[in-house]
Structure 1
Amino acid sequence: MSATGSLSVEDRLAIQDLLARYAWALDTGDVDGLVACFAPEAVVIEDVFEEPDRWEGHEGIRRLAEHYRNAPGFPGRQHHVSQCLVEGDGERASAKCFAFVTECHGEPPYTLRFTGYYEDKLVKRDGRWLFLERVIRLWDGPVLARFPGKGERAPRKRPPELQIRR
């Protein structure tokens, strides 16, 4: 990311709201609410397994949201977003945020399902901030490259229960 740009406080708060709306919509099964977080030409890339998934446009993102809404193990998951670094100007921005997913079923202890981060490209349209691109990554590989012996991404096979039908 480039040096801190000229985002207003209002823009920063609107971007934080967008990040929260995405998580709330995803975790409450609000497909329309999730799609509304994205520009019509947006793309979501899940770069978690050996073969990344790519979901393009509102139609593709809707299919992704419907998959998660209908996945038997998904209700009870919460996507947590923190440590967001946001830079840009009043029309475009980029963000990178820590992300983790918990799963809450019944009594504690609960399960930590995912640790990683988001890399986002954002655009402001008609006064609203929207995702133009969201890349979902594990907390491994290049993000750890400054540590000795780290930086190589370990290949991960997709388990059968995480197959997404298109």
Structure 2
Amino acid sequence: MNTPSSNQNSNLSEQDRLDILNLNAKHFHSLDALTYILEGDPAETWANTFHPDGLFQTLAADGKVIFQAQGRDELINAHRNFPDISTTRHWICNVLIEPHPRGARSGSYIIAMDIGVNPAAIIRTGTYDDLLSARDGVWLYEKKVLILDAFSPKAE
């Protein structure tokens, strides 16, 4: 059995964990272009949840890369070209945050819903695998990977 050392557990403070949870919320509010809480351009706000050289990927269940954007300009462009921003809401749950040599590793379950239809319908399911690090006390994603479930309704 692999058990973390007490030293490993102390690498992340409660404030670190709260900051990472808030980063997740900011990421998804801006991904869904919800501007009534977050002011400004949602694409820029979303890109700002990543380090300047950060990577976002979507993988099929078999590991095949479906989508990738790296760096601030590509991330902004990707957000602006996502086809369903105004009709999709993302729900994440079971957020797990663990110490990692580079900072933190976070994982969560994801359900994306099409709210442009009645009743709203599930359009994607999967998990996120995130690598985060703090620079100057600010937690950001180095890498955020969406791994779609094998039978996710839309593997895109």
Instruction: State the TM-score, normalizing by the size of structure 1.
Output: 0.75
Q: Does 1:48 align with 2:60?
A: yes
How far apart, CA to CA, are the structure 1 residues paired with 2:3 and 2:59?
23
1:5 aligned residue: 9
Q: CA deviation at 1:139?
A: 2.2
- Could you tell me which runs of 5 or more consecutive residues in structure 1 were left unpaired when the two chains were aligned: 141-153
Deviation at 1:51, TM superposition (A): 4.3
Q: Give yes or no for contact 1:77–1:103 (8 Å, CA) kept in 2.
A: yes
Residue of structure 1 equivalent to 2:37: none
Deviation at 1:127, TM superposition (A): 1.3
- Choose the corresponding residue for 1:109, options 102, 119, 130: 119
RMSD: 2.7
Unaligned runs of 5+ in 2: 35-41
**Shift of residue 48 of structure 1?**
2.8
Does residue 18 (structure 1) correspond to residue 23 (structure 2)? The answer is yes
**Counterpart residue number, 1:77:** 88
Shift of residue 2 of structure 1?
7.7
- Tell me the number of residue pairs that the alignment of Structure 1 and Structure 2 aligns: 141
Q: Shift of the alpha carbon at 1:92?
A: 0.6
State, as a whole percentage, how many aligned pairs show the same letter: 23
CA pair 10-65 structure 1, distance change in 2 beyond 3 A: same
- Distance in 2 (alpha carbons) for counterparts of 1:52 and 1:77: 19
More strand per residue: 1 or 2?
Answer: 2
Q: Do the aligned partners of 2:103 and 2:132 also contact (CA within 8 Å) in 1?
A: yes
TM-score by length of 2: 0.79
- The aligned counterpart of 1:130 is 140
Work out the CA distance in 2 between the residues paired with 1:48 and 1:62: 22
Cα-to-partner distance string for 1:46-71 (whole Å, 9 max, x where unaligned): 11384432211111111111112xx2
Q: What is the letter of the counterpart of residue 78 of structure 2?
A: L
* Aligned-partner residue type, residue 84 of structure 1: V
Question: Matched residue of 1:98: which SS?
Answer: strand
1:54-65 correspondence to structure 2 within 5 Å: 54-65=68-79
